Structure 1
Amino acid sequence: MDMQKALRARLLGAQSVSAIVGTKVDWLERPEGDALPAITLQVISGTLDQHMQGLQGLQFARVQLDCWGDSYAQTKSLVDAALEVVLPRGTIAGVYFRTASATMPRDLGERTDTQFIHRKQTDLTVRYSAA
């Protein structure tokens, strides 16, 4: 069971997300030179809870979701689409995602030599197990 691959596949499999980013959903770092909009994901913390016979079936991870865009409106549309996909229950690639929660939404951004890049960052609590 690979929660990270499954979460990326879940986002890319949603028409509402892929219509905005294409295939630009990556873990940890956006590939240099990739055009915007895009999504990056990063595991911030998690647990590997155990019981007497090994790992528990249900695991938790805190995942940082960053949505990047050329404009605030584009970035807001992307985060709204992404949250519609990752918050409900669902099964993909052998991983069962329970209802997730989103906290601490933040508006961020950075100026480059040629533009201002908009970023909306949200922390997700992802609850998952083998399907």
Structure 2
Amino acid sequence: MEEDLRALLLDVPAITALVGPRVNFGRHPQGEPLPALVLTTVSDREGLTLDGPDGLQRARVQIDCWADHYGEAKHLSRAVRQRLHGHAGGGFRALILEAERDLGAPEAPGRPFRVSLDFLVTYSA
């Protein structure tokens, strides 16, 4: 799922125009420029019915849109939302935006801005 989700984001010209190849799971490499996307799998569980596993996984993925300026972070989050929210295809049954957090101004001058998006991801195992 992780590789397919990253590929889905990198296939969008509006996103790659902003971040280039900087779409990473776990963390953004120190010293690399912004803007960037950092994806985190918050949870991932096997789908079950009364008869046992249903062959689907249900994950929650947080996508952090990092940028030096607030407008850039917000613009990037909108491009991600437009691409992923409601998507179904390939191994993905559904990608649904559950929450968006606009974390506003950073605590210290020179710190980057972040907008976080939480997606519920249903995919074939």
- TM-score in terms of structure 1 length: 0.83
Equivalent residue, structure 1, for 2:32: 34
| Contact 1:105/1:123 (<8 A) preserved | yes
Sequence identity, in percent? 37
The gaps in structure 2 that reach 5 residues or longer are none
Three-state SS of the structure 1 residue aligned to 2:79 is helix
Q: Aligned Cα RMSD in Å? A: 2.1
Q: Contact 2:63 / 2:118 at 8 angstroms: preserved in 1?
A: yes
SS at match of 2:7: helix
Deviations 1:27-82 (A, max 9, x none): 01000101000000001112123579985322110001100011111111101111
Stretches of 4+ aligned residues off by more than 6 angstroms: 51-54
What residue is the counterpart of 1:98 in the other structure? 93
Q: Helix, strand or coil for the counterpart of 2:55?
A: coil
User: Gaps (5+ residues) in structure 1?
Assistant: none
Contact 1:111 1:117 in 2 (8 A): no
TM-score by length of 2: 0.86
- The aligned length equals 123
For 2:89 and 2:82, the matched residues in 1 are separated by: 12
